[in-house]
Amino acid sequence: MMTNTERELRRLITESGFKAITVTMKCNGDNVSIEPCCYAEKPSFEATEYYLIYSESLPATGRETLDEVARYLLKYADYIKENDDDIDVLKKHIRDYGENSDWDFVSDWHKDLFGHRPHVGSEQLIAWANSNSKGSARFF
């Protein structure tokens, strides 16, 4: 049985001609882009291989079905909270270990949380860890 969210996504994607669509999340105002990846000559939901999902607050992700995309959107606020909690753990790790941190490990962790490596030095990462910023260390 199709949910209202899935039905609305289906309508928006159909109207866009299977191009990327953007929805605004009520929980925080994020613009979330959903791009159906369909390489068939005539795009359809059946021929769509997966959906790329980009947002301002979470790293890019993908889902295989429109139902999975709908469930992701319905739990978006939960994913934001989990990501914020993980950012706090990363920052605590950096504060606890300081210059003795394993910077390759920290860089991998940052990439998991933000979708990119920090591309800053250890001093800036430590300053970021001591800040109230929930954003990437790269833009701190």
The C-alpha atoms of residue 86 and residue 18 are separated, in whole angstroms, by 34
| Sheet hosting strand 48-54, strand order edge to edge | 21-24, 31-38, 48-54, 61-63
> Are 94 and 129 contacting, i.e. CB atoms less than 8 angstroms apart?
yes
How high is the pLDDT of residue 68? 96
Stretch 112-124: mean pLDDT: 86
Q: Percent of the chain scored above 70 by pLDDT?
A: 98
Is the pTM higher than 0.85? no
Average pLDDT of 105-121? Answer: 87
Task: Output the average pLDDT for the chain.
Answer: 91
List pLDDT tens digits, range 85-107: 999 999 999 999 988 989 899 99
Please, are residues 70 and 55 in contact by the beta-carbon 8 Å criterion? no
Has residue 138 got a pLDDT over 80? Answer: no
What pLDDT is recorded for position 18? 96
Structure confidence by residue, pLDDT tens digits, 58-81: 888 999 999 999 999 999 999 999
What are the domain boundaries of the chain?
4-74, 79-139
Q: What is the mean pLDDT of residues 38-52?
A: 94
pLDDT for residue 134: 78
